[in-house]
Every structure is written in structure tokens, then in C-alpha cells.
Chain A
Amino acid sequence: MTYSLAHLMGGILLLSTFLLLSQRRLAAMITLYQLQALTLAAAAFWQGYAQSEINLYLTGIITLALKGLLLPLALREIVHRFNLRRAVETAMPMALAMLLGVGLIGIAVLVVLPSTMSAVSLTREDLAIALSVVLLGLLVMTTRRNALAQIIGFLSTENGLVLAAIGMPGMPFVAEFSVALLVLLAFLVTGIFLLRIREHFDTLDVTGIEDIERRGR
């Protein structure tokens, strides 16, 4: 029971990260992220129950309230305010990104499973799923040109980290880690950068970043 439910949630999380790769519309990406965060909250509650650890319930509540509800609202607000409803440009063909994603999941499984023979098997498989989510999130960041899409990639990387943390037996500071990560996310999303970048460039495209390098030479 413990295994199958934890794996089910890990599976949903992985699947929604994978779908992020193929999704071209920002609104849909945000919905997928919300699904991810809600699943993660459920997983945290479940692990809290299985390990009877009050800290994990706390992590679950934080995840549910801030990442499941507040962050998606803020992201939708940004999409709405800046009128970013059109499809997002990708830096590489969708099929190639999906293939790379499959490759990354393969790598994660091949790397984690043999090197964790001594750990509890629940932790092992959770860790493989978490690493896949982390790598897929990084891939989303590299395949998108749009700052908001990159942030959503980063957010799902961070979900993978929290998934790994809640699966660790008796790990201290899990709630603190998720708060610390949230601070990082808050800085990203509350829009200091987005608003400023918007002000100065009138677009959320960050390809202009090479410009300063040319100027420096």
C-alpha cells in the first residue's frame, strides 16, 4: 500500500513534468505545474503518514498553500497582465526535446538504481523518479526561450528536489529546505525581474543576453 501509493504520486509527477516538455502554451504549462504541486503535496502528506513525521505534514501544507495555489495564481496574473497567451517559442524541435527527455529518464534510472542497492527500495525508486523530474525540469529550462517558461522549468526542478527530500528516511530540515527553496522561487516570481525586464525590453524573450558579451569584447 505504501509503495503503490507513493509510486502512483511519483508517476503522476513525472508524467506532468514530461508533458511540460511538449506543451507550447503558457497557460497549459501553469496548469501542469499546478497539478505537479498538488500531487507533491499529496505525496508529502502520505509520506508524513507513512513515516509518522510531523515535519512532512508541514511541508505538505506549505506546498499545497503556496505552490499549489498561490504561485499558479501569480503566474496566471503575469500571463494575463502581459498578454502572453500566444504559444511559446522553443529553442529546439519538440520531438527532439521529447527524445532527450526519455534519454534523461533512462539515465536517471540507470544511475540511481545500481548505486543505491543498500537503501530501502521505496527510497531508491522515489529517488530515481525525483532525479528524472529534476533533469526534465532543467531540460525544459534549456529548450525554452521565454523567461516565464524557463521559470516554470525551474519550478518543476524544485518540485523534484522536494520529492527527493520527503522520501529520505528521517531527514532533518525538510520543511526548512522547502521554505528556503520557496524564498528563491518567490524572488523569481514576484516579478522583480519579470517586471523590470518587461520595462526595459518590452518582451520576455531573453535571447538578447548575448548582446552584452559582444559589447564586452
Chain B
Amino acid sequence: MIYAPILLPFLAAIVLGLTGTPRQGVIANAALSGLVFLLTLAVFTAPGSGLIHADALGLLFGTLTGFIAFTTALANINYVRGAEPRLTPQLWRLYHALCQIILGATLLGLYADNIGLLWAAVEIATIAATLAVSLPRTPSALEAAWKYFILGGVGIALALFGTMLVYLAAQPALGPGLNAMSFTALSTHAPWMDGSLLTLAFVFILFGYGTKAALVPLHGWLPDAYAEGPAPLTTALSGPMLNLALIAILRFRHLLQANHASGGAAMAPGPFLLVLGLASLFLVGFSLSRRRDARRFFGFSSIEHSGIAIFAFGIGGPAAIFGGLLHMLLQTLIKSGLFIALIRAAALRGSTAPGNYSFAHLRGLIHSNKYTAWALGGAIFALTGLPPSGLFASEFIIISQTVQRNPWVSAPLALGLLLCAVAILRNLGPLIFGHAPPHTKPVKAAPEMHLVTLHLALAVILAFAMPAPVLNLLSSVAGALQ
């Protein structure tokens, strides 16, 4: 059962890559993504065993990934209809194959119970994402892809070195063989691992997967990749990929923490994570206000939210981890909804090609279409973390835990959050209610705006009225990984 949602996208990618017109590809992609979403739900009944064995964390984020992939693929139908002439049929085939490969690789990474397999999944996802960014074949897209490839490649190399060091650190506890690469075995035997070697390994893991999670100072690739790639693939679908990297860091952090707490030689992981988290928050806070391109702007906002999650993991303890994971869930929902709306907004103003996403070009959206403007405005407002946004709940948990466990860093955290929120709010007004460019006519809303509403509603429900099964699952994960 567990193999189905992983294998299906990879097999489908081969078919999508070889045959079909863009119209057929887009329908097949949507149908397949829907099927994978159902399969990720079915995995709850049979989480598997051995190498690929989904724990509660994998199940939860696997379902989220399936859901995002499905809604993105639905919104993609309209996008491809408008953007069809921009790429050759061969490139559209590659585009749809890459959608499926990224989905399959992300699920593989989330479900894998093996540090080597996790690394391979991240590697596949990175290669696919780089190719995706290069698709428009414009000089700036190629430059962005090149930058992504170099930074991502270095990150992958560092992560592999860290993975090997973790294996070496596990030798005293587990001996040679596959067992020393299994997360389940590693986390039960963490106290007997070689602590100092584990610390060294964690530094490499943090910088390796941190590159994929776009933590400052390793974030350079993300804004360019967001701004230059084909919109649905590089923006909406990249949220789950950031989550994969963050979850990898969280799992390795747990090994370090467990070793440290039981008197091992490992250093506490907190300070590393807090520093990277705060650095991300402040860099974004200061650079958001200078961005004129909306996709780049919201790319920076993704860096901010990666930073908040890492900060929460750095604070530690079940409640803060719960807050961090909730934050990741909600931000992924909101951000992918936001990008669906943003693509529609650009379509209202003529074209969804890269370069048509500047705030000046999109301003006064309410004069083009009310529904689109309100949905996009709602999603942007939700990003600030002010109530009634779902992110208010997760940020509240993280801040209150910070005050309790490490009061010294609560002031910089609050300041960083405030800076980012102000920068986002400053752009919100003109974008939605400002004067529209001359000759703007009202246009009908696209059907996928309902998907955006669904995303936002889900984020509010998950934050303020979380269904009991999800709550139990998330609490058990946070308790186990504290």
C-alpha cells in the first residue's frame, strides 16, 4: 500500500514525459494527482514496514503534500490553457512529468524510514525542481536554475556527508548494517550514539538540508527560482519540498537532543537552530520592503516561515515542536492558495509569464475582479499572522513557549515577526484597493478561486477547531520528537 503513492507518480512521469498534447497532459496530471491524494489517505490504514515506513509525521505531511499537489494540478488546468503557446509541446510534457516526479520524490522522502533514502529523495526533488525552473528558457530563468543547481548541489553534498557521519556515530550503538540508517532504530538508540560525532554530523545536516529549506544564509536560490520558473510548479508545489527539508532537520535534531538530554557528549541543538531562525526572520524583515516583484516577495516570505519553524524547533519541548509543525502545515496551505490566486491575478492583467508579477502591474486588483481580489487579499493578510489567520494560533504557541523556556530570545522573535508583518501589510492595501492601471476592465473570476477559499478555510479550521484525530496525531508526533 505504502509503495503505491510513491511509485505511481514516478511511473506516470515516464508516460507523461513521452506522449500527449499539453491539454491531455494537464488533465492526466490532475487526475493522477487526485489519485495520489486518495492513496496518501489510504496509507493511514497500512503504513508499511522496513525501509519505507511512514510514521505519524510522514502520514500527516504526506496527506498535506497530496492535497496541495491535487489543488495545484486543478488550478494548473487553467494556467496551461493560457500559457500553452509559451512552451513547445515537448517542454510541456517535461513540465507535467516534473510535476509528478517532484510529488513522488517528496512523498518518498516523507515516508522513508532510512536516512540514505531520505537523502536520495531530496536529491531527486532538487534535480527535478532545477529543471522546472529552467523551463521558460529565458536567460534569467536559466541563471536562476543555474544558481539553484549550484547551491542545491552543494547542499546535497553536505547533507550526504552529514548522513554518513550519522551512520558512523551510530556504530557504537547499532553496529554496521542497515539498522544504523533507520530513523526508528536511531531514535531509540540515540543515547548510546557517539555524541561528539553526532554534533559534527548535525552541523553538516543543518547546512545541507538548510539549503533546501532556504534558511539564511543559504537562501539565495529561492527568490530567483520562485520568480523565474513556471508559476504553478515552482511556487505552489515548492511548499511541500520546503517541509520535507524542515522535517529532515527536525528528525536529526531529535537524535542530537535525545543524546544530549541523556548525558551524551552531543551539544544541545537549540542555539544552532535559534540563530538560523532569527537570521532568516530579520533578513526577510529588512529585505521584504524592497521587493517589487510579487513572486520574489512571497518567496522571501517563505524564507521567513522556514525560519519561524526552525526557531520553534530550536526552542524545543513538545509544545514548541507542536507549534512549529502546525505553523508549517498552515503556512503551506495558505502559501499555495496565495500563489494560485496570484497566478489568476496576473492572468486578469493579461499574462502569467514571469515578469508580469510586479506589484505596480497588479495594483488595484479590486477593479478587475472582486472575488480574486478578496481571496488574494485574504491569503496575504493570513501570512502576517494577525487574527483571524490560522498562523496566529501557531505563532501564539511558539511565542508563549519562547517566553517560558528561553525568554531572552522572545524579544528578537517578536521584533522579527512584527517587521515582516508590517512589510506585508504595507503592500496589501495598494495591491488590492489602489488605483488600477488605466484601461482596466472588470473580468470574470476563474473557477479555481474556490480552491483558494478552500485552502484558507482549511487553515482557519485546522488552527482554531482542529479535528480530534489530527490533534492526537500532531501531539503524539510532537511528544515523540521533543
Q: Do A and B bind each other?
A: yes
Residues of A within 8 A of B (CB): 111-112, 114-119, 123, 127, 130-131, 134, 138, 141, 147, 150, 154, 157-158, 161, 164-165, 168-173, 176-177, 180-181, 183-184, 187-188, 192-193, 196-197, 200-201, 206, 208-209, 211-213, 215-217
Determine the distance from Cα of A112 to Cα of B116 in the docked complex, in whole angstroms. Answer: 22
Besides A116-B197, A184-B153, 19 new A-B residue pairs in contact (Cβ under 8 A), listed by A number: A112-B200, A116-B194, A117-B196, A150-B150, A157-B154, A164-B164, A165-B164, A168-B168, A171-B164, A176-B120, A184-B123, A184-B127, A187-B130, A196-B142, A201-B139, A206-B143, A215-B140, A216-B227, A216-B292
Contact B146 A209 (CB under 8 A): yes
Q: Looking at the complex, which one of B194, B197, B228, B291 makes contact with A212 (CB distance below 8 Å)?
A: B228
Contact B157 A157 (CB under 8 A): yes
Residue among A123, A131, A183, A212 with the highest chain B CB neighbour number at 10 A = A212
Please tell me if B413 contacts chain A, counting CB pairs below 8 Å: no
Contacting residues, chain A, for B199 (C-beta < 8 A): 115
Residue among B131, B142, B291 with the highest chain A CB neighbour number at 10 A = B142
Q: How far is the CB of A143 from chain B (nearest CB, A)?
A: 14
Q: How far is the CB of A98 from chain B (nearest CB, A)?
A: 21
Contacting residues, chain A, for B139 (C-beta < 8 A): 200-201
Please tell me if B417 contacts chain A, counting CB pairs below 8 Å: no
* Contact A187 to B167, CB < 8 A, known contacts A134-B157, A154-B150, A217-B292: no
* Contact A180 to B200, CB < 8 A, known contacts A168-B164, A172-B177: no
The residue in chain B whose Cβ has the minimal distance to the Cβ of A169 is B176
Q: Looking at the complex, which one of B119, B127, B177 makes contact with A183 (CB distance below 8 Å)?
A: B127
Contacting residues, chain B, for A177 (C-beta < 8 A): 116, 160
Contacting residues, chain A, for B176 (C-beta < 8 A): 169-171
Contact A188 B161 (CB under 8 A): no
Please tell me if B178 contacts chain A, counting CB pairs below 8 Å: yes
Q: Looking at the complex, which one of A115, A131, A192 makes contact with B196 (CB distance below 8 Å)?
A: A115
Please tell me if B290 contacts chain A, counting CB pairs below 8 Å: yes
Please tell me if B145 contacts chain A, counting CB pairs below 8 Å: yes
Q: Looking at the complex, which one of A116, A154, A173, A197 makes contact with B168 (CB distance below 8 Å)?
A: A116
Please tell me if B156 contacts chain A, counting CB pairs below 8 Å: yes
Contacting residues, chain B, for A216 (C-beta < 8 A): 223-224, 227, 291-293, 296
Contact B161 A114 (CB under 8 A): no
Residues 133-178 of B contacting A (Cβ, < 8 Å): 134, 137, 139-140, 142-147, 149-150, 153-154, 156-158, 160-161, 164-165, 167-168, 171-172, 175-178
The residue in chain A whose Cβ has the minimal distance to the Cβ of B196 is A115
Selected A-B contacts with CB under 8 Å, 19 pairs:
A114-B196, A118-B197, A127-B165, A130-B161, A134-B161, A141-B154, A154-B157, A158-B157, A169-B171, A172-B116, A172-B177, A180-B120, A180-B123, A184-B123, A187-B127, A206-B146, A209-B143, A212-B224, A216-B293
Contacting residues, chain A, for B167 (C-beta < 8 A): 168, 171
Contact A161 B196 (CB under 8 A): no
Contact A119 B194 (CB under 8 A): yes
The residue in chain B whose Cβ has the minimal distance to the Cβ of A158 is B157
The residue in chain B whose Cβ has the minimal distance to the Cβ of A181 is B160
Contact A193 B142 (CB under 8 A): yes
What number of B residues sit within 8 Å (CB to CB) of A?
A: 51
Contacting residues, chain A, for B423 (C-beta < 8 A): none
Determine the distance from Cα of A118 to Cα of B134 in the docked complex, in whole angstroms. Answer: 46
Q: How far is the CB of A54 from chain B (nearest CB, A)?
A: 15
Determine the distance from Cα of A180 to Cα of B142 in the docked complex, in whole angstroms. Answer: 23
Determine the distance from Cα of A195 to Cα of B156 in the docked complex, in whole angstroms. Answer: 24
Contacting residues, chain B, for A165 (C-beta < 8 A): 164
The residue in chain A whose Cβ has the minimal distance to the Cβ of B152 is A184
* Contact A213 to B149, CB < 8 A, known contacts A112-B200, A119-B197: no
Determine the distance from Cα of A176 to Cα of B224 in the docked complex, in whole angstroms. Answer: 32
* Contact A141 to B134, CB < 8 A, known contacts A114-B196, A171-B176, A212-B224: no
* Contact A173 to B116, CB < 8 A, known contacts A168-B167, A216-B293: yes
Determine the distance from Cα of A184 to Cα of B134 in the docked complex, in whole angstroms. Answer: 16
Task: Return the CB mask of B104-125 against A: 1 if under 8 Å, else 0.
Answer: 0000000000001001100100
Q: How far is the CB of A15 from chain B (nearest CB, A)?
A: 21
Please tell me if B181 contacts chain A, counting CB pairs below 8 Å: yes
Contact A119 B153 (CB under 8 A): no
Q: Looking at the complex, which one of A134, A170, A180, A212 makes contact with B140 (CB distance below 8 Å)?
A: A212
Q: Looking at the complex, which one of A114, A118, A197 makes contact with B172 (CB distance below 8 Å)?
A: A118
* Contact A118 to B194, CB < 8 A, known contacts A131-B161, A164-B164, A197-B146: yes
Contact B291 A211 (CB under 8 A): no
* Contact A115 to B127, CB < 8 A, known contacts A172-B116, A173-B116, A212-B144: no
Contacting residues, chain A, for B154 (C-beta < 8 A): 138, 141, 154, 157
Determine the distance from Cα of A112 to Cα of B169 in the docked complex, in whole angstroms. Answer: 12
Contact A217 B143 (CB under 8 A): no
Determine the distance from Cα of A184 to Cα of B142 in the docked complex, in whole angstroms. Answer: 17
Determine the distance from Cα of A171 to Cα of B227 in the docked complex, in whole angstroms. Answer: 41
Contacting residues, chain A, for B178 (C-beta < 8 A): 172
Contact A164 B116 (CB under 8 A): no
Determine the distance from Cα of A176 to Cα of B292 in the docked complex, in whole angstroms. Answer: 44
Contacting residues, chain B, for A164 (C-beta < 8 A): 161, 164
Q: Looking at the complex, which one of B147, B160, B181 makes contact with A161 (CB distance below 8 Å)?
A: B160
Contacting residues, chain A, for B197 (C-beta < 8 A): 115-116, 118-119
Determine the distance from Cα of A138 to Cα of B218 in the docked complex, in whole angstroms. Answer: 14
Determine the distance from Cα of A123 to Cα of B150 in the docked complex, in whole angstroms. Answer: 29
Q: Looking at the complex, which one of A112, A141, A200, A217 makes contact with B290 (CB distance below 8 Å)?
A: A217
Q: How far is the CB of B436 from chain A (nearest CB, A)?
A: 23
Closest 10 CB pairs of A and B: A170-B176, A115-B196, A212-B140, A200-B139, A173-B116, A216-B293, A216-B296, A209-B143, A172-B178, A115-B200
Determine the distance from Cα of A123 to Cα of B194 in the docked complex, in whole angstroms. Answer: 14
Q: How far is the CB of A198 from chain B (nearest CB, A)?
A: 10
Contact B137 A196 (CB under 8 A): yes
Q: How far is the CB of A215 from chain B (nearest CB, A)?
A: 7
Task: Return the CB mask of B174-199 against A: 1 if under 8 Å, else 0.
Answer: 01111001000000000000101101
The residue in chain B whose Cβ has the minimal distance to the Cβ of A172 is B178
